[in-house]
Structure 1
Amino acid sequence: MDDFGPARKRFKLPSFVLGLAFLFVGVAAVMKPGRAVMGIMWIIAVVMLFKGIFSFLGYFELRKVV
């Protein structure tokens, strides 16, 4: 009934490295919460900036078509 048994027993290095990275980031966030909030703020700001630029460029491309 459990078809996922053999897949669970394999060691996955990328998942292990990602888990260690999240553990490190979590500990750092607990030790310095102000810097963690600033980091999250910068990530969101950069994503919003790129989204705005691509939306602006998409508007002009759509204007050419319509």
Structure 2
Amino acid sequence: MAILKVIEVLANSNTNWEEATQNAVKHASKSVKHIRSVYVQEQSAIVNGDNITEYRVNVKITFEVK
């Protein structure tokens, strides 16, 4: 039986939501090992004029506790 834990991470990107999600996983993996999945809970963006300048995600990252 595996014990799993979930943390919530906020991340951003100047390019797109996929990169913001990848940034969340990369940052979390610096201190959390055995990441199993990522769930994108919320997406938002910052707009300046008629352009999106920043993509933001709120994700839940699930990892195994060994």
* TM superposition score normalised by structure 1: 0.29
More helix by share: 1
Task: Pick 1 or 2: higher relative contact order, CA cutoff 8 A, min separation 6.
Answer: 2
Larger radius of gyration: 1
More strand by share: 2
* TM superposition score normalised by structure 2: 0.29
